[in-house]
Amino acid sequence: MLPASLLALYPFLVYFGIQQQQTSGLLLILGGAFVARLIFAPDNKPLKIMTYITSTLGLCLVLVSHFASQKAWLLFYPVVINISLSLLFLSSVLVNQPIITAIAKWREPDLPETGIIYTRKLTYVWAVFCAINAVIAAITTTLSMDIWTLYNGLISYVLIGSFMALEWVYRQRVMRRDN
């Protein structure tokens, strides 16, 4: 749980590490958190795949940043994560079972056909959401550290949380209507 919590603070850690010129310590903390996430990935297969992909990419950015002596590489983690998630959502629909369907079936093994259809559509919506978030995160890498941190450390989380809450409210209405 700690590595995930630590990585949720990623934008703030990067901001303070760069502002305080403590990039060596920052790289050790972030690298350790990514390695811990790889070691302690969740058991649920779709979540494990997402954890492996995002943690490996984050670790790669930390290593590139270290060996290139360029802290700017750290700013691309939110971009890489959102692109990866978007592609993961899309590929799961095209190749196999949509990730959101798999997660829903993990919680509700007898998911009705309407739930399967709904989660398939929701997987597409999340793919688009993550793609848009990646574009905005990419734009912030060209702006000030304050704006980068504000968007990637607060605004994007608020957008994700709001989207999840709205989807939950919508799903409850649909389920009530269908029952």
What share of residues in the chain are helix, strand, coil (percent, to 5)? 85, 0, 15
Give the pLDDT confidence score for residue 147 in this predicted structure: 97
148 close to 75: Cβ distance less than 8 angstroms: yes
- Say what the pLDDT of residue 175 is: 67
pLDDT of residue 54: 87
The predicted pLDDT at position 48 comes to 83
| Confidence (pLDDT) at 157 | 94
Q: Computed over its alpha carbons, how large is the radius of gyration of the chain?
A: 18
Which segments in the chain show pLDDT lower than 70? Answer: 1-3, 46, 175, 178-179
Determine the pLDDT at residue 163: 93
**d(Cα 121, Cα 95) in Å, to the nearest integer?**
15
**pLDDT per residue as tens digits for the range 49-58:** 888 988 999 9
pLDDT computed for residue 178 by the predictor: 63
Q: What is the pLDDT of residue 3?
A: 65
**Where along the chain do its domains lie?**
2-178
